[in-house]
C-alpha cells in the first residue's frame, strides 16, 4: 500500500510518500516541503500548495492519504491557514476517490516513537531510522509528513490486526536510544 502523509500548513506543507508492504516493511518513495511566500495573497498561496499536492498525487498515485488533524487550540495566527490547506488536501483526495485518515499529533508521535509527547527531533530521528535514511528529513514538516504516513501504515491500513504497532515502535525507539547511548 502506498500512503501520502501530509503535514498541512500555508507557509510549509510537508508531503511524504511511503510504500508499506506487509506489517513492518516501509520504504521512502518521495518527500518534500512545499512552500508559499508569506507576502503573496492567500488564494495564490493556497493554489500553489494545491498544485504541489496534485502533482504528488498524480506522480506517485498513493492508495490513501493520511493527514494531521488540525486543532483550533494551536497558534491562532497559523491555524486558519493550516485548516484551509487541510480542506484543500481532503478535497483533492476525495475527488480522486482516495480514503483520508486523520491523526492527532500525539497519535503520530506515539506511533513512531512510542511517546505521544515526544519532541520534534525524536520524531525526525525515528523516521530516519524506520525508513533507513542516513539522517532525519529536513525541514521538520517533511519528517512530520513521513511520520504521519508511517502512523497510518502501522495503526491504520497496512498493519495486521493485533500486531501492536506502538509496541514495535517502542522497541525500535529503545534500540535507537541504546545505540545513541553507545555512540555518546
User: Under the criterion CB under 8 A, does residue 57 sit at the interface with a copy of itself?
Assistant: no
Which residue's C-alpha cell is 494551536? 74
Length of the chain: 184
User: Under the criterion CB under 8 A, does residue 88 sit at the interface with a copy of itself?
Assistant: yes
Tell which residue, 111, 127, 115, 124, has the closest CA to residue 165.
111
User: Under the criterion CB under 8 A, does residue 47 sit at the interface with a copy of itself?
Assistant: yes
User: Under the criterion CB under 8 A, does residue 56 sit at the interface with a copy of itself?
Assistant: no
Interacting residue with a copy of itself among 79, 107, 139, 170 (CB under 8 A): 79
Interacting residue with a copy of itself among 31, 56, 66, 85 (CB under 8 A): 85
- Write b or e for each residue in 48-76: b if 16 or more Cβ atoms lie within 10 A of its Cβ, otherwise e: bbbebbeebbeebebebbbbbebeeeeee
User: Between 120-131 and 140-151, two packed helices, what is the crossing angle to 10 degrees?
Assistant: 60
Which of the residues 58, 141, 175, 177 is marked catalytic?
A: 141
- Which positions are annotated as active-site residues? 7, 68, 141
- Which residues bind to a copy of itself, rule: CB under 8 A? 41-44, 46-47, 50, 70-73, 76-77, 79-80, 83-88, 90-91, 93-95, 100, 102
Amino acid at each position: 500500500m502506498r500512503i501520502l502523509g501530509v503535514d498541512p500548513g500555508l507557509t510549509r506543507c510537508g508531503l511524504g510518500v511511503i510504500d508499506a508492504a506487509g506489517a513492518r516493511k516501509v520504504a521512502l518513495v518521495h518527500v518534500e516541503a512545499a512552500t508559499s511566500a508569506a507576502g503573496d495573497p492567500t488564494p495564490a498561496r493556497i493554489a500553489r500548495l494545491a498544485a504541489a499536492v496534485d502533482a504528488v498525487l498524480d506522480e506517485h498515485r498513493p492508495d490513501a492519504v493520511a493527514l494531521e488533524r488540525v486543532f483550533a487550540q494551536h497558534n491562532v495566527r497559523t491555524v486558519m491557514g493550516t485548516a484551509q490547506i487541510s480542506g484543500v488536501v481532503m478535497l483533492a483526495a476525495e475527488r480522486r476517490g482516495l480514503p483520508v485518515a486523520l491523526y492527532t499529533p500525539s497519535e503520530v508521535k506515539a506511533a513512531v516513537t512510542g511517546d505521544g509527547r515526544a519532541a520534534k527531533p525524536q520524531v525526525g530521528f525515528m523516521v530516519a531510522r524506520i525508513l533507513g535514511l542516513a539522517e532525519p528529513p529536513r525541514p521538520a514538516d517533511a519528517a512530520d509528513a513521513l511520520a504521519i504516513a508511517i502512523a497510518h501504515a502501522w495503526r491504520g491500513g497496512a498493519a495486521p490486526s493485533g500486531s501492536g504497532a506502538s509496541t514495535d515502535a517502542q522497541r525500535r525507539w529503545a534500540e535507537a536510544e541504546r545505540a545513541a547511548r553507545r555512540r555518546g
